[in-house]
Structure 1
Amino acid sequence: MTAPTPAHTAVPAPAHTAAPAADATTRLTVAQALVRFLCAQYTERDGVRRRLIGATWGIFGHGNVAGLGQALVEHADTMPFHQGRNEQAMVHAAVGYARQSGRLSTHAVTTSIGPGATNLVTGAALATINHLPVLLLPGDTFATRPADPVLQQLEVPHAGDLSVNDTLRPVSRYFDRITRPEALIPAALQAMRVLTDPIETGAVTLALPQDVQAEAYDWPAAFFTDRVWTVRRPGADPTELAEAVTAIRSARRPLIVAGGGVHHSRAESALAEFAETTGIPVASTQAGKGSLSHDHPQDVGGIGHTGTATADDLARAADLVIGVGTRYTDFTTASNTLFTGDGVRFLNLNIAPYDGHKLAGLPLVADARSGLSELTEGLLVHDHRVPDAYVTAYTGAKADWERRVDTAYRAADPDARPTQTQVLGALDALVDGTDIIINAAGSLPGDLHKLWRARSHDQYHLEYGYSCMGYEIPAALGVQLAAPGRPVWALVGDGTYLMMPTEIVTAVQEGLAIKVLLVQNHGYASIGGLSEETGAERFGTAYRYRAPDGTFTGAPLPVDLATNAESLGLRVLRARTVGELREALATARAADTPTCVYVETRTTDTVSGAPPAMAWWDVPVAATATRPAAVEARERYEQQISTRRRPL
């Protein structure tokens, strides 16, 4: 099997060959034609060309084994294949690869009909919400209906053309069902258009009826010639740009909010130049963290509910918020309670007009890198820079926060069991800019957003658009394929691990030396804390036996996740103390085989040991309740919602 081209390596430009004769055709099945077509698709941005579909993941059943399965066997030398264990996990692996590849290369995923297809839905939602490309190729029921119903067919009395694959429609940016061979040509071209569109990209689904997959057709030879899809970098409209420059020049306390679009555009250097030129501080969303290195003078850390005190205090006082590539989710805006300064305005640099107009802001619709460069040029003409007193104030606040991080990370006793933040501190002391940290759900995202010191633009890989439990381990496989030779860490709690550990087997099979940091805290720590805050008293969030009163408040369950990971083929290093943890992490980092570090944490009053939330998040509390905890939570809730502001 041919190894996929690493994402960071440009592929040679396709050789220029004579154009096929206008009437030349090649007789292939639909599946054969599709795989051959995918092998000839490329992206190009900034003069660098990459293979668009780097590999295919698959689990075979009666809906794809005789069609796509046969085609992939025949193209094994040109289309690398990865054997997955769970359909949702295969999508996560493809998404991890796509993100690490800067959205310029991705993977395809094929499944059988029925459960295999519906298992794709969660992964597709994650990809689309995060604007990350992935191609889904589920098998489908017979187009010719030789028997009705066939195995796994959904019967809908009022609509004979529906199948379970239609569940993928709302979570796909493009969906088509190929019911005739010739329909593949326009559908495949539209699929590639969406996958490479910096605004529209996400999950793309081509549902493939199993009989059509195996049907032969005379394909025009031109369908299989190399095709290059240029990823655009549109600049700003001159009028919008002039208004943006004027708004920045008139602001006294501006704040940049860097979102995932900075990374998608590879605009980190342009952002650094803009921030250094103007002195404007840069806060980051979960998706945007790492846009500036943690030690950059203008970096003030994460913003919002899981942000730093420095960034959130700046947000409350800001008179201009400059969003760059952000969707302004409720975590970022603290459910519209964070940006409360008098007369605060928003300037939104975004390639998507939909996001550019959010919060009644001034839109600057452009590619992030292009727009930032144009803003820098426009402000340099006026030699614009924020007041020195403003820089002094946020620089001092940043230093204060770093001392709080040091306190959270510090473990005085090497023989003690670590808190979760001390686990992160041990990892922080070990890594350098080549390490990649992957996480998605639980209490870890909040701790990481507040505390993690990102050392490179792609070190911090948090999937928080969908915050999907189970993402981390399969995504680590995709990231490792895209970044061979770099240390890739999947940080998971016990709740997330139990959701989807299956791709450990794939890591072992493929020899992908991912590092799994498995934190055991006996339950859903994040939701447990939220439950307590909202008056639900941690109901149903701990992994414990039932007590005599029927509640889950007995002894912790005697599960041994370390042994489970070993049974799937991982080398497991058990760390009981801070000292053992440090040694285990160093061993895992140096390992050339998949390795897990297992650690059971101790809790504190704040669960993980991290500073508490610096901003609110709206989780509605019952308006009527009798339990004292819920009554008190409702009172706090009403106080918080009274501070909400809707920008107009």
Structure 2
Amino acid sequence: MVSTAPMRPEKSPDAEPTVRLTVAQATIRFLSNQYVERDGERGKFFAGCFGIFGHGNVAGLGQALLQSEIAAAEAGAQPPLRYVLGRNEQAMVHSAVAFTRQKDRLQTWAVTASVGPGSTNMLTGAALATINRLPVLLLPADTFATRASAPVLQELELPSSGDVTVNDAFKPLSRYFDRVWRPEQLPAALLGALRVLTDPVETGAATISIPQDVQAEAHDWPESLFAERTWHVARPLPERSVIDRAAQIIRTARKPLIVAGGGVIYSGATDSLAALCEQTGIPVGQSQAGKGSLPYDHRQSVGAIGSTGTTAANALATEADVVIGIGTRYSDFTSASRTAFGNPDVRFVNINVASLDSVKQGGVSVVADAREAIDALRAALDDYSVSYEYRARTGELAREWDDIVTEAYRVEDGMTLNQNQVIGLANTLSDPRDVVVCAAGSMPGDLHKLWRTRDRKGYHVEYGFSCMGYEVAGGIGAKMAEPDRDVFVLVGDGSYLMMATELVTAVQEGVKVILVLVQNHGFASIGSLSEALGSQRFGTAYRYRSDDGRLDGGKLPVDLAANAASLGAEVIRVQTAGEFTDAVKVAKASDRTCVIHVETDPLVPAPDSESWWDVPVSQVSTLESTQNAYRTYADWKKIQRPYLKPSDR
């Protein structure tokens, strides 16, 4: 009888060699050999891995990182992937995000956490990274792929689905998600994640969920998987016909205005922007992410725009007949909830690497890298300039706002400070290349208006997600990215109490930040907003409960300075401008993380932006304060516009 079974092929003598590693060991080795290149400059993409270990990753990725460190030490080298122990999983993601923002998205970190709550603690960080279009690789551990021990500790059981775990919550928050059920799936997952992380359009959080048993499983990997791989970060070029159409519209403008967003900075387009606006005289307003696109004292800079903008930028926005958005996603703060651009005939030209953002507000969509598009537009506008009168008006408005800032900064030594004065002192005493970091509360809006930015990377305010607790962790990431700059973290007591424990990580790693801790006994920002909306600052103060059961008793005896000292920071308590000045000098001279604790009056507002932010007010109420607030809200709603007229008419 003749067998019909196929012959078993013999292994080819020139078959690719393999190496036997666990899935976790293969992951770490792969990440260690990833590079990015833009404009001919090449560098490692992953600076390291943040991690907190528990069941699910301690014997997987934890063992792999340990093995890598020991092998490097035996060879007399540094670990190919530096490991940093954080104190909070969310904060680790924030540090990674701050690092990559400071690096213009050209380098980042991986972050690993254990099964269950360790991994879901990273969800907020994933949302923040994706909303801000910043690359970070998340490696949450997962429950058993084999389900041999199910249900394991911290496992979610759904009666309707056996393959869903808590890590599925990452799917809507990530730009890329995969789960590695088998070792053979790892290469595709890693390559898929790197494709997204290095793409300026697609980038955000990339999540690869690896079950704990799979992490520890051995497999024979082709050695080519671990060869150095360079990912090119592209600069998409604009179409010539689209640039011509955009230039044609701009030439018709008598009062054009540029809105510079974060894309200007990430693209390294600040010099190109300066050349364009100097050539044409077009003034530039800046979003939160775009602040620093021009120095504050540049002739065409009118500062922040929108709900937290300057009166200069917002006055020009109201009159603008052509608005040129560059690298902005037109958030509600930038557009003042679609009330900023008041000219009924306003037209838009939108330059963005992402088509999603380029079509906002209608108008001409220029899908391209910001630097390449600006350079092309400058060449197409070599015969165009705004009038002398418009240049003069731009300068006059900018000087008027600068005088307002100077007055807000003014201090009388010996007097208790307010938040505007604290910002002014920190700004004046910092060096031009120093970085200010903030994220939530009233401080970001006040910084947007008042901080005089002198360097393209000197302003680091996370306002895409405006996440309380980002500040300390973000300051660590910013400092790790650029150790030669001092980093000033400005944080109110509300955000500080959310995630102060990362001060321990700063002390552990010898990462020096200067933390200005503003004690205002509650939520100053929401308190102000609550009052404006007729809700009388309800639930925004840190108080004892009074006899009638309300939280409006005396102040809580919370000593945040003592708390910071207990976490290992050097703490300086100040009350006056002179004491604050001396404290900054001590902090800048120190090689330790320093906390400057200052108590302020939360009822002293920043200068008015003469703008609006859409937060709905109760339509009916028995409270007079709410009734009055609703009438104001209804008046603003009357001028809210869709901005959808086509620009090529």
State the TM-score bracket (shorter-chain normalisation): over 0.9
Cα distance, 1:547 vs. partner? Answer: 2.2
Q: How does 1:463-482 map to 2 (within 5 A)?
A: 463-482=462-481
Q: What SS does structure 1 have at the residue aligned with 2:172? A: coil
User: Is the Cα contact below 8 Å between 1:26 and 1:219 reproduced in 2?
Assistant: yes
Residue in 1 that maps onto 2:198: 196
Task: Name the aligned partner's letter for residue 218 of structure 1.
Answer: D
The secondary structure found in structure 1 opposite 2:361 is helix
- Cα distance in structure 2, aligned partners of 1:192 and 1:573: 44
Q: Does 1:67 align with 2:60?
A: yes
Instruction: Say whether residues 1:391 and 2:391 are aligned partners.
Output: yes
**1:485 CA drift (Å):** 2.5
AA aligned to 2:46 is: I
Q: 1:304–1:614: 8 Å Cα contact kept in structure 2?
A: no
Note the alpha carbon deviations across 1:486-520, whole angstroms, 9 max, x for none. 10111100000000001100111111111111000
How many angstroms does 1:68 deviate by? 0.5
Cα 1:64–1:212 shift into 2, 3 Å = same
- Give the match for residue 35 of structure 1: 28
Answer yes or no: is 1:53 the counterpart of 2:53: no
Q: How far is 1:551 from its partner?
A: 2.1
Q: How many positions carry a matched residue from both structures?
A: 623
Q: Deviations over 1:128-149 (max 9, x none)?
A: 0000000000100000111221
Amino acid corresponding to residue 406 of structure 1 in structure 2? T
Identify unmatched segments of 5+ residues in structure 2.
1-12, 70-78, 645-649
Q: Aligned equivalents of 1:87 and 1:324: distance in 2?
A: 34
Deviation readout 1:318-358 (Å, 9 max, x if unpaired): 00000000000111111111111031011100000110000
Structure 2 partner of 1:24:
17
Q: Does 1:496 align with 2:495?
A: yes
Q: Which residue of 2 aligns with 1:571?
A: 570
Amino acid of the structure 2 residue aligned with 1:630: T
Q: Corresponding residue for 2:610?
A: 614
Partner deviation per Cα, 1:60-103 (whole Å, 9 max, x = no partner)? 00110001011001112211000010000000000011111110
- 1:112-170 deviations in whole A, cap 9, x for unaligned? 01000000000000000000000000100000111221111000111100101111111
Q: Which amino acid aligns with 1:23?
A: E
- Counterpart CA distance in 2 for 1:211 and 1:91 is 24
In 1, Cα distance between the equivalents of 2:452 and 2:589?
A: 21
Residue 404 (structure 1) shift: 0.4
Match of 2:307? Answer: 305
1:434-471, CA deviations, whole angstroms, 9 ceiling, x for partnerless residues? 20000000110111011110010000000000000000
Asked whether the equivalents of residues 43 and 104 of structure 1 are also in contact (C-alpha less than 8 Å), the reply is yes
Does the 8 Å CA contact 1:43/1:50 hold for their aligned counterparts? yes
Distance 1:21 1:575 in 2: 72
Q: Secondary structure at the match of 2:101?
A: helix
**Could you tell me which amino acid in structure 1 is paired with residue 367 of structure 2?**
V
Residue in 2 that maps onto 1:410: 410
RMSD: 1.0
Identify the residue that residue 343 of structure 1 maps to in structure 2: 345
Moved more, 68-77 or 34-43: 68-77
* Native 8 Å contact 2:506 2:593 kept in 1: yes
Letter in 2 for 1:384: Y
1:548 to partner: Cα distance: 2.3
In the alignment, what sits opposite 2:584? 585
Residues 603-635 of structure 1 deviation map (CA, whole Å, 9 limit, x = unaligned): 4xxx34421232111100111111111111111
CA distance in 1, matches of 2:186, 2:441: 41
- Tell me the residue number matched to 1:429: 428
Distance 1:151 1:619 in 2: 42
Unaligned runs of 5+ in 1: 1-19
Which residue in the other structure is 2:461 paired with? 462
Aligned partners of 2:106 and 2:610: how far apart in 1? 36
In 2, the alpha carbon distance for the partners of 1:486 and 1:432 equals: 9
Counterpart residue identity of residue 449, structure 2: K
How far apart in 2 are the matches of 1:610 and 1:535?
A: 19
In the other structure, the counterpart of 1:16 is none
Task: Give the whole-Å Cα distance in 1 for the aligned partners of 2:258 and 2:217.
Answer: 55
Alpha-carbon offset, residue 554 of structure 1: 1.6
Counterparts in 2 of 1:221-240, with a 5 A limit? 221-240=223-242
Whether the aligned pair in 1 keeps the contact of 2:314 and 2:609 (CA below 8 Å) is: no
Alignment of 1:363-374 (within 5 A): 363-374=365-376
- The aligned residue for residue 314 of structure 1 is 316
SS of residue in 1 equivalent to 2:568 = coil
Q: Deviations over 1:228-264 (max 9, x none)?
A: 0000001101121111110111111000000011111
SS in structure 2 of the partner of residue 32 of structure 1? helix
2: CA distance between counterparts of 1:285 and 1:515? 25
Q: For residues 183-215 of structure 1, give each alpha carbon's deviation from its aligned partner in whole angstroms, at most 9, with x where no partner exists.
A: 001110010000000000000000010000011
**Equivalent-residue separation in structure 2 for 1:342 and 1:27 (angstroms):** 67
Q: What is the CA–CA distance in structure 2 between the aligned matches of 1:374 and 1:294, rounded to whole Å?
A: 25
Aligned equivalents of 2:577, 2:517: Cα separation in 1:
15
Contact 1:143 1:209 in 2 (8 A): yes
Match of 1:358 in 2: 360
**Equivalent position SS for 1:252:** coil
Match of 2:524, as an amino acid?
Answer: A
> Match of 1:338, SS?
coil
Native 8 Å contact 1:25 1:220 kept in 2: yes
Match of 1:642 among 622, 638, 644: 638
- Aligned to 1:54, the other structure's residue is in SS state strand
Question: Which deviates more, 22-31 or 99-108?
Answer: 22-31
TM value normalised by structure 1: 0.95
Residue deviations 1:544-582, cap 9 Å, x none?
Answer: 112222222221111000000000000000001121111
Q: Comparing 561-570 with 429-438, which one deviates more in the overlay?
A: 429-438
TM-score when normalising by structure 2: 0.95
Distance, in Å, in 2 between the alignment partners of 1:179 and 1:615 is: 52
Residue identity in the other structure for 2:361: L
SS at match of 1:333: coil
Does structure 1 retain, via aligned residues, the 8 Å contact 2:523–2:540? yes
SS of the residue 1:506 aligns to: helix
